[in-house]
Structures are given as C-alpha cells and as structure tokens.
A = this chain, B = another copy of it.
Amino acid sequence: MQDVSSLAAQAREGRPRAVARLISLVEGASPQLREVMATLAPLTGNAYVVGLTGSPGVGKSTTTSALVTAYRRQGRRVGVLAVDPSSPFSGGALLGDRVRMSEHASDPGVYIRSMATRGHLGGLAWAAPQAIRVLDAAGCDVILVETVGVGQSEVEIASQADTSVVLLAPGMGDGIQAAKAGILEIGDVYVVNKADREGADATARELNHMLGLGEARAPGDWRPPIVKTVASRAEGVDDVVQALEKHRAWMEEHGVLAERRRARAAREVETIAVTALRERIGDLHGDRRLSALAERIVSGTLDPYRAADELVAGLTEG
C-alpha cells in the first residue's frame, strides 16, 4: 500500500512516476481507488479538457503533438490521454511509440498516458474520467484526450471534454464518414488537417454545408469554426489554439463550461452508482439469496418482477 497523500503531493510537483502510479491505481479499480479519488477531489477543476476525435489517418497524433508544442510555448503544463477503445492492451504498451511523441518525452511539463479500455468493466465511461481527474489534480493546465478510431466510444469520450475537436482530412469521404459516426454533431471546433493536399477547400466547404454554418444563428450561439492545418509542419496550429481559447471564453461567458462539467460529473456518478449496485447484486448472488429467488421462479411460486423487488429490498437493507 502506498501513501496516497504523498503520491498526490509528488504528482502536484510534476513527478511523472507519481502521476503514473495514481493513474494505475484509479484505472485498475485498486483497493485504494476511493482514497485516491477523495484525496484528489480538492485539487481538481483547473484543467481545460480538450477532446480530439476523427477517423484513422487524419493526423490526430500529429495534431495532438503540435498542440502540445504550442501550449508548452505558452508555459502551460499539458497532459495527454490517448484512448484506444479497441485495444486489449493497457498502460501504453500498444500506443507507446506513437503517442509518446519523442520530442516531448523529456519535457517535465508534459505528461503522456495511453489507455486501452476494451473489456474493461464499465469501459470508457468509467476509466477515462478518472484518469482525467488525476491529470487535473497533478496540475495540468490543459488535458488533450485523443481517441483512436471512430464510433460510439469516441462520442462518449468527447462528452468528457470541455471542448471537442473533430478532425478531418481532404478526400477519403471523411465528411460523410464523420456524419455516419455521429461525430459531426459533437464538434465545437473542426480541423481540416493535411490542408496542403488537394481537396482541402472542398472538404471545408462540404463540412460548412453539412453543419449548416451558413445559416443564421441566434446571437450568442456558438458557431463552430473550421480551421485548416498542416500539423506535420505546425501550420495553422496556433489558429487551433486560438479557436480553443475563443470557445473556452464563450463557454465561460455563457455558463456553458460549468453546465458541461456538472453534466459530466453527474454521468460519472451515475456510472459508478450503477456499477456499485451491480456488484452488490453479485454479492447477494454469493449469499445464495438470488439462487433461492431463482428456485422459486422455476417452481412457479414467484414471478421475476416480484423477485427483483425482493432483491432490491435486500440491497437497500444492506
């Protein structure tokens, strides 16, 4: 058992090993998980969380790395969480080479962590917010959450962010793919990367059309900007940072940031509560109470709904 308070203090000082250890504790549902979360709570709430999603090949890692450089130039501490919902590996084994982004590896102001959540109890909804909490408590000013692949999990991850960035690249029918995956609705900022390639303007126009950006909006509404970048040469990356800051300022002005964070926290609590209740039912199962109920259902002396009532009543006594 480790001293959680001292780990938290070390993480606060920016010691990467302490951060790594804390993430491992929350990720693995260790016995110390609750202690860690309780200790970190008062230290959280300062980080600005940015989610980056997009199809494979659009340049998410390159863009993330370029954003890290830009934020570091401003003196901000940056956390990077790379989430791969389809990988059974965890702890950076798989994504390591790609996300460790050699240029930042020796920078103590950058903490990079990859996370795989396949088969994980509760999946992304459960694991990612806790890691974000650790990075927040460790004093990161900005946390970039990069997801691999496109799909429901990405939308889920994006819902963990203060600002969601959707990346596209010219050609590839990306616009349509994005629309299908439902990620078009989640973008606060859109980035057309690889803008030096043919079709970049067309992609931006198509996107502009799909998002209805040409249409009138109520005053005060957020109009998602479309930023063109060549992340591999850092072109346009400052524009992305500017768009992010603008979105953050808009959210603060309109109370949206606080509302998003409350909604995020509510979902987090709900997920933990349901998981806990499921576990309690599992315990009852061990107690043979569920078996006894099942026996009565099989014999026809009880129906499943009244049995469930008894099970729930059993929980609430526990």
Contact = CB atoms under 8 A, between A and B. Distances in A.
B45 A300 contact: yes
Interface residues of A, number: 53
A316 interface: yes
Nearest to A280: B312
Which among A42, A285, A297 has the greatest number of chain B C-beta atoms within 10 A? A297
Interface in A270-318: 270, 272-274, 276-278, 281, 285, 290-291, 293-295, 297-309, 311-312, 315-317
Contact of A273 (B38, B130, B273, B308): B308
Contacts of A44: 300
Contact of A266 (B41, B262, B276, B294): B294
Interface in A125-141: 129-130
A269 B38 contact: no
Contacts of A258: 298
- Which of A262, A269, A281, A316 neighbours the largest number of chain B CB atoms within 10 Å of its CB? A269
A309 B272 CA distance: 9
A215 to B, nearest CB: 29
13 contacts: A45-B299, A129-B304, A265-B293, A265-B297, A269-B294, A270-B290, A274-B277, A274-B278, A274-B281, A276-B309, A276-B312, A277-B315, A316-B317
Interface of A: 33-34, 37-38, 40-45, 129-130, 258, 261-266, 268-270, 272-274, 276-278, 281, 285, 290-291, 293-295, 297-309, 311-312, 315-317
